[in-house]
Amino acid sequence: MGEIQAIVCVHFDERGEIDYRVFGGEEVRLFIVDDRAPHDRVYEWTRRDDPAAFRELVPEGAEIGHSGDERHEAIAARIDAFTSGKPHLSVVPTPHDGGQ
């Protein structure tokens, strides 16, 4: 990944709490758009963290997934479950139970 100049990181902790982190200078901007707040719908995240602090979250050499890797479907399902409020595991019908 090399030297980090600017990056946005969305961090979910073990409890599912979400945190937005912007590392680097003003060359990267993070906007949060929330249609549930019509009078304050667009919010710019202005807090900045030192790029070196990113390595506390993602150590040098850590495996970083992406949309084309073999784990994508599993991670995408987990994120979709979180955002929809559904459990990330569910019963999958099999031919033995009649598909029910």
Q: What are the pLDDT digits (tens) for 23-45?
A: 987 888 999 999 998 888 999 99
Is the CA virtual torsion 36, 9, 31, 79 positive or negative? negative
What is the percent of the chain where pLDDT is above 70? Answer: 93
Q: Picking from 29-33, 39-43, 60-64, 84-88, which range would have the lowest pLDDT averaged per residue?
A: 84-88
Instruction: Please give the residue that has the higher pLDDT: either 21 or 89.
Output: 21
Write down the pLDDT at residue 1. 53
> Is the pLDDT confidence value at 66 over 90?
no
The SS3 of residue 19 is strand
Question: What are the sequence ranges of the domains in the chain?
Answer: 6-94
What is the H or E stretch that residue 73 is in? helix 72-84
